[in-house]
Every structure is written in structure tokens, then in C-alpha cells.
Chain A
């Protein structure tokens, strides 16, 4: 990493730390959701952007993470912070196991298999034998955490910082993972899987691993979203969540770590802007935004930013 990039990163972090004191509690809550989305998008990007497997069902892992947190808090009285790693672990295993058979499926077939998972999830959550834990259609209401150690922060600000710390951890982890051997192996599988195999990469293992890690990220994001929203219900996790995540990584930039952040800003704020422009057809407006972004920045926002920086650098 160049010195310049480090400086830029420091500035971004500083701004991120200062933000809650500059905006209202409501905006802080929205920014928390941006961070949550960013983690989820990073997870999906590991799978789709880096290893080239399309998932239309990541909303299911998002839901799983959220429910693990809600059930642990509600039924077992586990403190909220301890539920986040638990949600990540459960999703890691679930993702890895789902990844094993899904490996035999390529491209569109995998997309369909994951789509099925995404569609089925809300109904599974309503299943009556699980109702004791999931609360059925009613869902689970969880309390909002206060700042610990008597920190002078209101719950919204505290939750933002809590999410920020986890987001930074997850980004550093992804950065380390994707810039090294593992990242190169994933990209090799995506670009030419036969050649990758010939070079000694264990395709099966790496693919399931990518699935597991990706699910873990999304699960952690789901857990954080449950804490922020303080409520989970099957209706919160319809197939649309999965689609929105996919939109996020494409708009933000495939195979790009910073793209997750841009994508998160897009999926959080553009629907609201669209709703402000027209209450009659918000999704049509959203569609126009989406088409605009894809046309103007075919490699996502991250790609456009990269291009812009490169141009400035080459200019005299």
C-alpha cells in the first residue's frame, strides 16, 4: 500500500468516526445500516466477484445470521456482542455445507440453486416446528444495547461504532485474504478453472471455502442488522434482500473491496431518493438510477474511481 493510499484510508476512517457527531440519530442509524450492507456486500463479492460463482440467495444467510443473534439474545440471554461471532460461525458452516453439493453446479445452475434457497428461507422461518425459537410469523423483538462502561454515547452512536469496529475488522480480514494466495487462487478458478486445477489449486476446496467465508460475512452482517433494527421476522428476509445484495456488488464494483462500501451507499440511499422523486413508481426511478450507473460506470463505482485516480496521476 502506498503512503498516499494509507493517508486516504486514515482520512476516511477519521471521517467515519466523526460522522455520528455531525448528523442526527436517524442518519446515524442509516449509516449503521450502510456499514452492515457493506459487510454483506463484501461477503457476496468474495463469492461472485472473486471466485465467479453467482449467488441469488445470500439473503438466506443474512436471515440466518439475524435469527441466530435474535434467538440467542431472546431465548438464551446471550449478550449482543457475543452473538455476532456465533452468527458468523453458524453461517460459515452452513455456507460451507451448502457449497459442497452446489459445487457441481456451474454458472446459471448455481444461481438457480441459490435462488431456491433464498425463496425458501422466509417459509422455513415460519415452519411451525421451529416456532418455539423463531417466533413464527410474529418474529422476535430484541432490546437495543446501551453503550457499555458508561461511555457518553447514545444507543444509536454506540451501535454505529460497534458496527464500525466490526466492519473494519472484516475489511482488513478480507484484504489479507484476497491479496494473498487464497485471493489469487479464487481469481484463477474464476478466470480459467482447468488451468487453475493444472497449477495445483484444489478447486473443490477453494470453491466451498469461498462459499463458507462469503456466507460468514453475510451472516455477520445479518446479525448486526438484527441488533440495529431490533426486530427479525420472516417478512424481513424475502428474496428481494438477495437481489438487492447482488445489485449492490455490481453497482459498487465486482472483485473490489472498496466497491462494497460504494454498493452499500447505493442500496441504502438510492431507494429513498427514488421514493422522494416519485411515490407512484419508486422502483421505476430506482431502475433508471441502476441503468445510469451501469452505463456510466461499467466496472462499478470502484472501477470508475480507480480510472479517475489513474487519469489524474498520469496528467502532468
Chain B
């Protein structure tokens, strides 16, 4: 008995800091284990580069000495965008690999599949890679948090802009009839507030529809002079082309989901897309505005050194870098208290911090009842060649 007491005292003397250090599974003096699932294969494998750029980011962090002296062990599994596989992989990460938390699991259905499980297990489901609004629900799901601006905040930004610049607008809305479309629509309604009667026509389409031509005709007939286009890429291209062809020239707002120049505006015809307004929150490395930007230059260095096979024109790689920088900041804030609870507490305690790859003026702010890190976007207008940012940052 005496001997044990002696050892305890000796231990306490040898490691004076040990008393303040607190660890949950997945954290130790030398390592922090983070889990992730990503669609490296399957229909959504274009997103796989996000997982790869995050892996590269942590390689860089580890080479530079880690976070508070601890190396990050980032374990990422392929789920092929299949929800049952995500469940299996999330369970593997939590129960077998004993990760401290999972981070950036990608896809709305995949995250829905593990939503309950993660919250039941009280393991943080950090910064999920989906724009659905339901991840911001600290009351019922205190272990889940999103990252990117959700669909509702984006739609609110458009509403705000319309109210400011065109208070007498007659608005026509086209939306995809599912939760993605309805999420946007709700945000738009909320954004207009008492002025909801500005909307003169709302029409929807199904993902299974071949075209949205008749919907565009209906909107034109309604006399709308502002068009809010809530569509996925294929339908967005159709809507832009049809509106132009029938000579309907409203002020056109296009959701961020479909603002890719390559896969939407080019097929629609670049000249037909001139003047369309959309939004962004991340610096696009192909945008000439950022040619001499310090953060983008640093990002290029990072890409060259740690992810040379990655495509520098792919905005997903800027996204992966930015979100990884965010979680690194959360972990720095955690200090030596690496419990799951503290990870959540620190993630919900970001006060205006920002990775420099976000657009200027956009910051990350969270609190105990606000689990939506990025809520601001900046509007951009298409000039026939590329998007041009304009105006100030909208949203919180």
C-alpha cells in the first residue's frame, strides 16, 4: 500500500501537468484521431478530392509539429455515397478505431443515416459536408454541426438583396420539389419576411422531369421581373437557355448549387448567362481577383507540396483546405482538454475567426445555440466570362 502511495506521489511530481490534461478515446499526449467518410468511388466521387485535400492538410500540420504538439491521425474511409456503408464505416471509426470525433462526413443522406447514432453515442459529428439546414439544431442534436452556409441563409441573402435594390419586384420562383428545393424556398420566404406577397408565382419540377420549359413559360406569363432559380445543374442550364430563347429577361438569381461555369453556364451558352446573380463564400482560385492573394498563394504552395496530383482549378480543394483549417483551429482552442464535450464546446465558441481562403469579410461565428458556422455569402454577377463579386457581404 505504501509503495503504491509512493508511486502515485512520484508520478504526480514527474508529470505536474497531468492533472489538467483530459482525454476521451482518440486523444492522447501524442495523437488526435479524427474519422471521416468520403465518396472516393461511386456516383459522387467528384467530391472525393475533398477528403484527399483534408488528408494533405493534416500531413502539412503534422510536418509542422502538429496541433499543440499532437499529431493528427486522419482516418478516412470510402462510403461510395451509400448510406448503409456510411453507417458501417461510422461505427468502425467510433467503435473500432476509437476516433475522438468524425469530421466532414459527406452527403445529406449519408449524414442523415448516422445522425441519430452519433448523437446517441455522444461523439461529435463535426462540420458535415452538406448544405441542409437541419444540421443546425443544437437542442435536439447537440453533437452535430454543419460548416458551409446552409441553403436557407443563402436564400435569405438573395431576398435581402432584392428588398434593397428592387423593392417593387414581382418575383417568380422555380424550385426542385424535394427537401433541397424546399429548404431554399423556406429561407427565401423568411428573408422576405412581411413582403412575401412580392412573389407572384411559384412553380416546381421533379428531378424525373425531362425539362423545365413549361415552368419557364408559366413564370414568364405571370409577369415576374425577378427570377429565383432553385435548380440542380442540368435544370439550371435548361432554365437559363429557355428564358433567353423566349425573350424573358428578368433579374435572374441562381442558387450556389448550380453556379459552376463549366458544367452549367457553358452548356447553357455563356452569352445567355450574362447578368445572372449567384453567391460565393470561398475564394475561387481560378478567379483573376485572387491572382496575387496571399492566402491563395499559400494554398497553391500547399497543393504543390502536399497534394501535387490535385487539380488547382477545382474549388473543392480550396473548400477542403478551408474546412480542415477550421477544425485545426477548434483543436487549438481545445488545448489539453481533448474531450468530446470540449470539442463541441470549442466548435460552438468561434468568435469571428476565419480561414483566409474565405471571401474577405466572411467569418465563422458560433455559439451554444448557433451551430451554423458560416452564414454569410457575397453576391457575384456573371460577366460573360467569369463571376465578378460585388456589393458587401450579406447575412450574419
Q: Which residues of A are interface residues toward B (Cβ below 8 A)?
A: 24-27, 29-30, 33, 123, 126-128, 136-139, 141, 225, 229-231, 233, 235-236, 238, 240, 275, 279-280, 282-283
Contact = CB atoms under 8 A, between A and B. Distances in A.
B41 A283 contact: yes
Nearest to B132: A138
B77 interface: yes
> Which 7 pairs across A and B sit closest by C-beta, in order of nearness?
A26-B95, A231-B113, A233-B109, A229-B84, A235-B109, A236-B83, A26-B91
Given A24-B95, A26-B95, A126-B207, A138 B112 contact: yes
B170 interface: no
A138 B109 CA distance: 6
B144 to A, nearest CB: 13
B179 A136 contact: yes
Contact of B87 (A126, A137, A229, A235): A229
B43 A238 contact: yes
A136 B180 CA distance: 11
A94 B285 CA distance: 53
Contact of B113 (A29, A229, A282): A229
Interface string B100-113: 00000001111011
A101 B52 CA distance: 48
A139 B82 contact: no
Nearest to A123: B208
Contacts of B116: 141, 230
Nearest to A137: B178
18 contacts: A25-B95, A26-B91, A29-B88, A29-B91, A136-B179, A139-B109, A139-B112, A231-B113, A233-B83, A233-B112, A235-B83, A236-B84, A240-B80, A275-B78, A279-B76, A279-B77, A282-B40, A283-B41
Contacts of A30: 88
A28 to B, nearest CB: 10
A127 B40 contact: no
B64 interface: no
Contacts of B91: 25-26, 29
A195 B117 CA distance: 56
B83 A231 contact: yes
Nearest to A233: B109
Contacts of B76: 279
Given A138-B109, A236-B82, 12 more contacts: A24-B95, A25-B91, A26-B91, A26-B92, A29-B91, A126-B208, A128-B177, A235-B81, A279-B76, A279-B77, A282-B40, A282-B78
A126 B43 CA distance: 17
Highest count of chain B CB atoms <10 Å: which of A26, A30, A127, A231: A231
Contacts of B87: 229-231
A26 B96 contact: yes
Contacts of B110: 235
Contacts of A225: 84
B160 to A, nearest CB: 28
A158 to B, nearest CB: 16
Interface of B: 40-43, 76-78, 80-84, 87-88, 91-92, 94-96, 107-110, 112-113, 115-117, 177-180, 206-208
Contacts of B117: 230
Nearest to A126: B207
A263 to B, nearest CB: 18
B178 A139 contact: no
A156 to B, nearest CB: 9
Contacts of B208: 123, 126-127
The SS class assigned to the A binding surface is helix
Highest count of chain B CB atoms <10 Å: which of A24, A27, A138, A141: A138
B241 to A, nearest CB: 24
B218 to A, nearest CB: 18
Contacts of B108: 137
B178 A33 contact: no
A25 B94 CA distance: 11
A141 B114 CA distance: 9
Nearest to B84: A229
Given A24-B95, A235-B83, A236-B84, A275 B77 contact: yes
A282 B39 CA distance: 12
B41 A282 contact: yes
B82 A238 contact: yes
Contacts of A128: 177-178, 206
A107 B9 CA distance: 78
Contacts of B96: 24, 26-27
Nearest to A25: B95
Highest count of chain B CB atoms <10 Å: which of A136, A137, A282: A137
B40 to A, nearest CB: 6
Nearest to B206: A128
A275 B95 CA distance: 18
Contacts of A279: 40, 76-78
Nearest to A225: B84
Contacts of A29: 88, 91
Contacts of B115: 141
A203 to B, nearest CB: 37
Nearest to A276: B77
B89 to A, nearest CB: 9
Highest count of chain B CB atoms <10 Å: which of A127, A136, A279: A279
A80 to B, nearest CB: 15
B14 to A, nearest CB: 34
B77 A33 contact: no
A151 B83 CA distance: 30
Nearest to A33: B88
A233 B82 CA distance: 9
B174 to A, nearest CB: 16
Contacts of B92: 26
B176 to A, nearest CB: 10
Contacts of B81: 235
A241 B256 CA distance: 32
A230 B86 CA distance: 12
Contacts of A229: 83-84, 87-88, 113
